[in-house]
Amino acid sequence: MFRILIIIAAALLLFLIIKNRLSSRSRRQKKTTSLKTDDMVKCLQCGTYIPRKEAIISGTENFCCQQHQRDWDESHSHRS
Ligand SMILES: [Zn+2]
């Protein structure tokens, strides 16, 4: 009976070591995927998706080009 307890304890310890190793590996994978940020933003004027670093950002709005930013501003400004 005592021998079974030792085997169970050893198995549990081994399980914890493997689990620890797997979780640290997955944590490292999450880090690399977060570094690869190729998030896309949508142009408010034409709806085209462009990479955030290439987008024209004005406040909370994103545009694919300055022309579309101007077009959107013109069609949404109430000052004339
Ligand atoms: Zn656009």
Whose tokens are 């914890």? That residue is 16
Q: How far apart are CA 80 and CA 58, in angstroms?
A: 20
Q: How far apart are CA 49 and CA 72, in angstroms?
A: 16
Residue spans per domain, the chain? 1-36, 37-80
Amino acid present at 63? F
* 45 CA → ligand 1 middle, Å: 5
Using DSSP's 3-state secondary structure scheme, residue 17 falls into: helix
pLDDT at 33: 53
Q: Which of 13-17, 21-25, 61-65, 68-72 has the lowest mean pLDDT?
A: 21-25
Strand partners, 42: 49
What pTM does this model have?
Answer: 0.50
* 4 CA → ligand 1 middle, Å: 69
* 63 CA → ligand 1 middle, Å: 5
Query: Residue 77 — pLDDT band, cuts 50, 70, 90?
Result: confident
Is 58 within 8 Å of 69 (Cβ atoms)? yes
Q: Which tens digits make up the pLDDT trace of 2-59?
A: 899 999 999 999 999 999 998 887 766 665 555 455 789 999 999 999 999 999 998 8
